[in-house]
Structure 1
Amino acid sequence: MENQHLLITDSTLKDLKGVGPKSLENLNILNIHSIEDLVLYLPYKYEDETVINLHEAEDGAKITVQGKIYSAPVLAHFGRGKSKVSFHMMIDNVAVKIEFFNQMYVKRIAEIDKTVKVTGKWNRSKQVIQGSKITEDEHSGVQLVPQYSLKGLIKRAQFRKMMDSAFQTVTIQPFLPDNLKEKYKLWDLDQSLYELHVPSSHKHLLQARRSFAFCELLLFQLKMRMLNQLEQSGAPRSKVDYDIRKVKTFIDTLPFELTDAQKQVVNEIFREMKHEYRMNRLLQGDVGSGKTVVAAICMYALMTAGRQSALMVPTEILAEQHAESLSEIYGDSLNIALLTSSIKGKKRRLILEALERGDIDVIVGTHALISEPVQFHDLGLVITDEQHRFGVNQRKLLREKGNDANVLFMTATPIPRTLAISVFGELDVSTIKQMPKGRKPIITEWAKHEEIEIVHDKTACEIRAGRQVYVICPLIEASEHLDVKNAIEIYETYQALFGADKVGLLHGKMKTEEKDEVMNKFQNHEFDVIVSTTVVEVGVNVPNATMIVIYDAQRFGLSTLHQLRGRVGRSSYQSYCILVGNPESETGIERLQIMTQTTDGFVLSEKDLEMRGPGDFFGIKQSGLPDFKVANIVEDYRMLEVARDEASELIISGAIEQPELHALKMRLDADLSVHQLD
C-alpha cells in the first residue's frame, strides 16, 4: 500500500485502465509520475456542452443541441486529403444542416432517425451548424466537459479513462479540520477534487474550486509560518554591535540630507539588527527613492561592528555601478571590492584572499558571490538588489556564507501588500515612498504612431540641450529575428536623424561584453541616443538622460513601463517619458492612460496586479510565488487572509499535530523538506 501524502492506494500508474508503456512515458513527460500527480492534474478550463434550445442560441456562438437525423449523411472529398460529411437534423422543430470537415468517422454515426447531440458553431442565416463533436448520448442535463493540457501526447478520451480508473483505486485522506469545513462551508479534498474532474453543475464546480483554493492557501500559509519558525530557530545569534556615534558622523558627512522616509527605514533596520534573531526584511521603494543610500548606511554600520557585508545584484553592469557609487559615498572610510565572473586570475585570487582575511568590508557582485571558493571572514549582512531576479536557491546560498547573517532584500518594483503577504509571508517590509528633494515629476505623454514626427522633434530638442535619450522597442518573444529587425529599422531612423556615430544599439543577440560596451559609451555621453530591444536594467544610472521613448508601449505591463520610466528623472532637469502606441484592446488603452495620469509606483503596481494577475506580475517564477492550481491571490485575497489566520491558529494551538490532520501534516512536512534540500 502506497501513502502519497494525500491519498492511499494499492495501485500505480501502470495498473490503471488505458495506461500502457507508451502512455506511461507520455504521462511522465506531463510530469505525472504517480496516481496522486494524476488526480492533482486539474483541467485548465471547461467546455459547457449543456444542451440548449436552438431558438435561444446566439448567431456565431459555439452551442450544443440535440435532435433527430432525417437525411442520410453525404461524404464529399475536395482538395488534397480533405473531406466534408453533411446531413440534416430536426432540432427544436427547425430543419438544420450539419457539416463536419475532415471527420469521416461521423458518417458511421449519422444514421437516419437516430437522436444525437451535436456541438459546433451556429450560423443562423444559413441554418447551418459547423460541427466539432457528435455523440449518441441522449442525456440533456448540465454537461461541463473538462479540458486538460495534454500537449497532443494523450487523447482526451484515453486520459478521461485513466482519471476514472484512478478515482476507483484511491482513498483520498481527510485534509481540512472539521471545524474549518463547518465554519466556512467547505468540502474536503476528496469531494472537491472529484467535482473538479467531473463537475455535476456550475454551482458544484464553484464550490469545488472554492474549497480546493482554500486547501492550497492554507497549506501555503502553514508552510510560510513553519519556514519562519525554522529561520528563527536555533541558538540566538550575536547582535550587531555597531558604533552609533560613527554611523551618525558618517550620515552627517553625506552630501545630501536623508528624507524622512529614509531615516525611518534606517531606524527600522538598525532596531532589528539589535535583536537576538537575525533580520529578514524587504526594503521596497520606487525608482530613485534612495534605497542604495540606505543600504550603504547599513553596510557602514556593519563595518563599525567589525563585520562584513555583501551586496548581490543581477548583472555585471549594475554591480559595477553600485561599486562605483558606493566608493563615492564611502571614500576611504572602508574597503570595498567588486567581484563578478569577468574578474579572473591573480586579481580574483587577491580579492578572495582579502575577503577571507577580513580585509574587505563590503563586497559587491553578481551570482559569482555564491560560487564555492568565496569565503568570508565574518559575513554579517547580505543584501540582494532586485531580489525577485534571483532564485530561492541563489539567495539561500549567499545567506549561508555567514552563519547568522542578517538579510535585506531590496526591490524597485513596488509590491502590493497582497503579493507581499503571499510571496514573503511573515517577512517584515520597509517602504520608502518619499522621493529626494529637487527631483521633478516625470512628464508622461502618449503619442500614436502617426504622431512620431512630434516625438522626433522632442528628441532633437533634448539633444540640443545637451541631454540624452533612451529609445525602447518591445521584446517580441515569438521571434527574436523580428525583434532585432524592428530595432535595426528604428536604430537606422535615429542614426539618419541624429548622426550615425551618436546612436547606440542594444539587442538580445549581443554578447554581454558588447552590451556593457554600448552602455558604458552611453554613460560617458559618447552616444546621445541608445536604441534597445531589451529592458534597460533597473538601477542603471545616467543622470544626464532626460527622455525615454517607448515604442508599442501597450505590449509592456504597467510595472515594466514604470521601471523604464525610472531610467530618467535622476537629476534636477525636467524629464519626459513618451509612450508610442496604437493599442487596439481596452486594456492596452487603459494601461497607457494610467501611465499618463500617475507616477506613483505603488498605485501602478496595485493596478498592474489587478490587470495582469499574480502569475505575470514578476515575469518569472523564481520569485517564490507558488504555482497555485486553482487559487488566485488577487481574486481570493480575503480567503488568503483567512487562511493565514487559521494557519497561525493551527500551529499555535498544536492542532496541526492531531491524527485526523495526518494528510495535511504529511504534505506540509514534504514541502518543508524539499525547501530545506533546495
Structure 2
Amino acid sequence: MLGAPVNVIKGIGPETEKDLQSLNIYTVEDLLLHFPYRYESYHIKDLAKAQHDEKITVKGKVHSEPSLRFFGKKKSRLSFRMFVDEFLISAIAFNRAFLKSKIKIGETVLVTGKWDAHRAQLTVLEIQIGDRRRGRAIEPVYQTKGNLTVRAIRNYVSEAFKQLETLDIPDPLPTKIRQAYKLPDYMTALHTLHFPDRPDKLKHSRRRMVFQELFYFQIKMQLFKYLNRESGSGLALPIQQEVIDQFVGQLPFSLTEAQSQVVNEVLKDLRSAYRMNRLLQGDVGSGKTVVAAIALYGVATCGFQGALMVPTEILAEQHAESLHALLSPFNVSVALLTSGIKGKRRKALLSALEAGEIQIIVGTHALIQEEVKFNKLGLVIADEQHRFGVEQRRALRSKGEEPDVLHMTATPIPRTLAISAFGDMDISTIDQLPAGRKRIQTSWVKHDQLHDVLQFISRQVKQGRQAYVICPLIEESEQLDVQNAIDVHAQLTQAFKGISIGLMHGRLSSEEKDEVMEAFKNNKSQILVSTTVVEVGVNVPNATVMVIYDADRFGLAQLHQLRGRVGRGNFQSYCILISDAHSEVSKERMRIMTETTDGFELSEYDLKLRGPGDFFGHKQSGLPDFKIADIVHDFKALDVARRDAERLLETKAFWHDEDYAIIRKDLENQGVFTGERLD
C-alpha cells in the first residue's frame, strides 16, 4: 500500500496528482514523507514568559467594549482591552469589523497574534470566542504548488492514514535499534509528525525519522567501503619504502608531520589488496601537491601510470611543471594534455601514453575523452574534485583496471559534511602549514578608503612585489552595483603610470590567459586585475597583495581561496577586503575573515551560515537531499548513525537476520550489491 500510486487516496484526481508530482510525491509513502516545514503552535502562552515580537496564543476575558474606526478605502481597526491572568492588555484587529458585535464584556476569548511587550499590545491574527479552540493546538504547514493548499494536503494525509490503519506496515528500523534508542515505531512517528498534539511527542518522532534517514544513508556509505575492502580488487602495488625515503630525502624541503602522516596513509592504500578511495583535504598552501607527487612516483616505480585531473588549463600547466621538476631527476616522464594541444603533437602524445612511454599525465577533462588510452593505469588523482561531475570522475577511473583513486581538495570541508558527502571514502587531512609560512594579514576597508589601498599597493610594487586585484564581474552590470574587471583595469592604468597592469577574465581564449598569466608570473606585469579565474592553484610566490573588490559578494570559502594566492613566498603578505557590507551577515563574514586564516574554522562558520546544500554550490558534490534531517543541526545523530552502521556491517546478523531484511532489500534495489557506486 505504501508503494501504491498516490491517486489511490480518496479525493486525489488527475489534476491534484499532477500538482503532487511537481512536489516529487508519486506514492502514498512519498505523501507521508512530505513533512511539514514548520508548525503553528496554538498552545496557551504564559504572558509573563512571552518574548517581544513573539507570536503567541493567550486566553483572557474581555474588559472593554470594542472600539471600531475606519480609515483609507474599506480598511478598519478594531481594538479592545482584555485581562490575561493579572495583565491588562490591548488587542488590535485590522479589517475585522464584523467582530464588533460578537465581542462582549466578560466573554472568554482565545487570541493568537504578535506580542508587543513595550505597548502591552497584541496584534490579532486569529480570534475565537469561548475557552476551547476549534482545531489542533499544533497545526502543520506544508510546502505547496499549483492549486494545492495546506488544508488540502492535511486532508489527503489524514485520508491516507485512515486507509492504512487496518494494514500491518513493517518498520524500516530494526527492533534492536528502536529499543536501544527508545524510538517510536514508524507509523506512530509519521502520524505524530503530521498531527502532533504535544511538543515533546513531536520532538521524539522527529528524532526517530532523522535517525532512520541518516542511518540508511550511512549504511549505504559504509557498505561501499566494506565491499571495496572485502573485494580485494585493488592492485596491491609493491612500493618499496627505501625508494620513497630516497625520493623524499631529495626534496628541497622537509615534510611537515601532517604531510608525513598523509603520505603513510596513501602508501598503505596503494600497497593494499583493496582499491583506494581516499579524500585528501588540506588548506590552501598546505602541500597537497607534494603528497600527490610522492604517490605518483611510488606508482611509477612499480611500472604503472598515474593521471592527475585538474579543473583548469592554468592549473594543469602549473602542476605539470611542478611534477616535472620533482620527478624528472628520477627518470619519471611527465606529460601535459589539455584541449589546447592539437594535431600531430596530440597524436604523438596519445600514442606514447598508450604505449606506456609516458608514466605520469596531467590534464583537464581532456583526459576523459574516448581517444585517451592508457597502457597500465594504476592511480587516478582528481584535484579540486568537487568541481568535476560524478560522470567525469567515473570516466577517468574507467580508463584502467580498478585503479586506486585519490581525490584532493583545497576547500576545507567541515567534518559534518565530510562524513556525509564523502562517507564512502577514507579521509586524510593536512592541517599544518609548512614551516616559515607567515600569516597573511587581512584587513577590511570601505570603498571610500580606496585611495589608501592604492598607495599601499604602490609601496609594495616599489619594493619589487606584485598584487592581485579581484573583481566579481567582467563588465558593468545594471543589475549589480559592483566593481568590474574592465573598469577597474582602466582606473588602475590611469592611477599607476609606468606600471604594467594585466587583465584576466573568463572570456579570454586559453592562449590569451596563458599570455597574461605568464607575464604576471615572470613579473613583466606587476598588478593583475582579474575575476575569480585565479581562485584555484595559481602560484606566484612574489605576489604579496590580494585586493578583493565588493568582497561581500563572495562566499567565505571563495574569499579564503583567493587569499591563498598570496603568502606563497618568504615575504609578508596582505589581503584587503573592500566592502561597504550593509547587512549584519555581510559584516560578520568580513569580521571573521580578518580574525582567522584557518580554512577549517572558516568552513565550519560558512556551513552554519549557508547550510549544507549551498556549501559547494554544486549538486554533484554527492550530498543527498534529506527529507527531514539537517546534517548541521543533527550532526550528533549523523555520527551515531555512522558508528552504528560500521559496527552492524561487521556482524553476521546484518547479512542474515530477518530484522535487517528491509534494509538489505532497499540496498539491493539501489544496486549497491551489484557494483554500483557512489562517487
Shorter chain as normaliser: what TM range? Answer: 0.7 to 0.9
* One-letter code aligned to 1:22: E
C-alpha distance after superposition, 1:392-423 (max 9, x if no partner): 33323322221121111212223344433333
C-alpha distance after superposition, 1:115-159 (max 9, x if no partner): 986655456899986665677995279733333333565222222
Q: Please, which of 159, 162, 182 is the counterpart of residue 168 of structure 1?
A: 162
C-alpha distance after superposition, 1:166-206 (max 9, x if no partner): 33334543122222222222223322222222222221222
Q: Separation in 1 of the partners of 2:274 and 2:16? A: 52
Q: CA offset at residue 671 of structure 1?
A: 3.9
Matched, 1:156 2:154: no
Q: Tell me what 1:23 maps to.
A: 16
Is contact 2:473-2:485 (8 Å) kept?
no
- Structure 1 residues 287 and 113: CA distance shift in structure 2, 3 A: closer
Q: Separation in 2 of the partners of 1:95 and 1:288? A: 62
Q: Separation in 2 of the partners of 1:410 and 1:84? A: 62
Q: Please, which of 99, 107, 112 is the counterpart of residue 102 of structure 2?
A: 112
Q: Tell me what 1:599 maps to.
A: 597
- Structure 1 residues 12 and 133: CA distance shift in structure 2, 3 A: farther
Matched, 1:274 2:264: no
Is contact 2:473-2:484 (8 Å) kept?
no
Q: Tell me what 2:94 maps to.
A: 99
Moved more, 465-474 or 206-215: 465-474
Q: Separation in 2 of the partners of 1:511 and 1:658? A: 61
SS at match of 1:482: coil
Q: CA offset at residue 378 of structure 1?
A: 0.9
* One-letter code aligned to 1:183: A
Moved more, 211-220 or 434-443: 434-443
* One-letter code aligned to 2:373: Q
Is contact 1:553-1:561 (8 Å) kept?
yes
- Structure 1 residues 560 and 677: CA distance shift in structure 2, 3 A: closer
Is contact 1:547-1:568 (8 Å) kept?
yes
Q: 1:190-589, aligned counterparts within 5 Å?
A: 190-242=187-239, 247-331=244-328, 333-425=331-423, 427-473=425-471, 481-482=479-480, 486-487=484-485, 490-499=488-497, 502-506=500-504, 518-534=516-532, 536-583=534-581, 588-589=586-587
- Structure 1 residues 493 and 156: CA distance shift in structure 2, 3 A: farther
Matched, 1:35 2:34: no
- Structure 1 residues 125 and 193: CA distance shift in structure 2, 3 A: same
Q: Separation in 2 of the partners of 1:95 and 1:430? A: 62
C-alpha distance after superposition, 1:326-360 (max 9, x if no partner): 22333372332222334444444433333222222
Q: Separation in 1 of the partners of 2:512 and 2:101? A: 69
Q: CA offset at residue 511 of structure 1?
A: 6.9
Q: Separation in 2 of the partners of 1:491 and 1:585? A: 28
SS at match of 1:660: helix
C-alpha distance after superposition, 1:1-26 (max 9, x if no partner): x5xxxxx36x4222334433233222
State, as a whole percentage, how many aligned pairs show the same letter.
48
* One-letter code aligned to 1:112: K
> If the length of structure 2 is used for normalisation, what is the TM-score?
0.85
Q: Separation in 1 of the partners of 2:153 and 2:42? A: 19
C-alpha distance after superposition, 1:357-403 (max 9, x if no partner): 22221111222322333322111001111122223333233222211
C-alpha distance after superposition, 1:422-452 (max 9, x if no partner): 3333633333334334433222233344433
Q: Separation in 2 of the partners of 1:135 and 1:531? A: 64
Matched, 1:676 2:673: no
* One-letter code aligned to 2:5: T
- Structure 1 residues 518 and 186: CA distance shift in structure 2, 3 A: farther
* One-letter code aligned to 2:139: V
- Structure 1 residues 608 and 86: CA distance shift in structure 2, 3 A: closer
Matched, 1:14 2:7: yes
Is contact 2:232-2:273 (8 Å) kept?
no
Is contact 1:142-1:201 (8 Å) kept?
no
* One-letter code aligned to 2:660: L
* One-letter code aligned to 1:323: A
Q: Separation in 2 of the partners of 1:244 and 1:55? A: 72
Q: Separation in 1 of the partners of 2:146 and 2:80? A: 32
C-alpha distance after superposition, 1:599-635 (max 9, x if no partner): 3334444444455544444333322233333333344
C-alpha distance after superposition, 1:545-568 (max 9, x if no partner): 111123444554443332222110
Q: Separation in 1 of the partners of 2:469 and 2:40? A: 44
Q: Tell me what 1:5 maps to.
A: none
**Stretches of structure 2 lacking an aligned partner (at least 5 in a row):** none
SS at match of 1:381: strand
Q: CA offset at residue 515 of structure 1?
A: 5.5
Q: Please, which of 622, 625, 648 is the counterpart of residue 624 of structure 1?
A: 622
- Structure 1 residues 492 and 206: CA distance shift in structure 2, 3 A: farther
Q: Please, which of 127, 131, 146 is the counterpart of residue 140 of structure 2?
A: 146
Q: Tell me what 1:103 maps to.
A: none
Q: Tell me what 2:665 maps to.
A: 666
Moved more, 64-73 or 232-241: 64-73
Q: CA RMSD in A?
A: 3.8
C-alpha distance after superposition, 1:214-268 (max 9, x if no partner): 1122112211121112323435444213455655554444444444443443333
Number of residues of Structure 1 aligned to a counterpart in Structure 2: 660
Q: Separation in 2 of the partners of 1:315 and 1:89? A: 68
Is contact 1:484-1:508 (8 Å) kept?
no
Moved more, 585-594 or 542-551: 585-594
SS at match of 1:648: helix
Q: CA offset at residue 585 of structure 1?
A: 5.8
- Structure 1 residues 496 and 426: CA distance shift in structure 2, 3 A: same
SS at match of 1:577: strand
* One-letter code aligned to 1:559: A
Q: Separation in 2 of the partners of 1:72 and 1:597? A: 56
* One-letter code aligned to 1:415: I
Is contact 2:19-2:148 (8 Å) kept?
yes
- Structure 1 residues 84 and 237: CA distance shift in structure 2, 3 A: same
Q: CA offset at residue 662 of structure 1?
A: 3.4
* One-letter code aligned to 2:668: D
SS at match of 1:431: strand
Q: Separation in 2 of the partners of 1:630 and 1:564? A: 35
Moved more, 150-159 or 461-470: 150-159
- Structure 1 residues 518 and 159: CA distance shift in structure 2, 3 A: farther
Is contact 1:50-1:141 (8 Å) kept?
no
* One-letter code aligned to 1:154: L
Is contact 2:235-2:378 (8 Å) kept?
no
Moved more, 118-127 or 610-619: 118-127
Q: Separation in 2 of the partners of 1:113 and 1:267? A: 78
C-alpha distance after superposition, 1:519-557 (max 9, x if no partner): 454334444333344363221112221111234445544
- Structure 1 residues 602 and 113: CA distance shift in structure 2, 3 A: closer
Q: Separation in 1 of the partners of 2:370 and 2:143? A: 40
Moved more, 246-255 or 322-331: 246-255
- Structure 1 residues 54 and 491: CA distance shift in structure 2, 3 A: farther
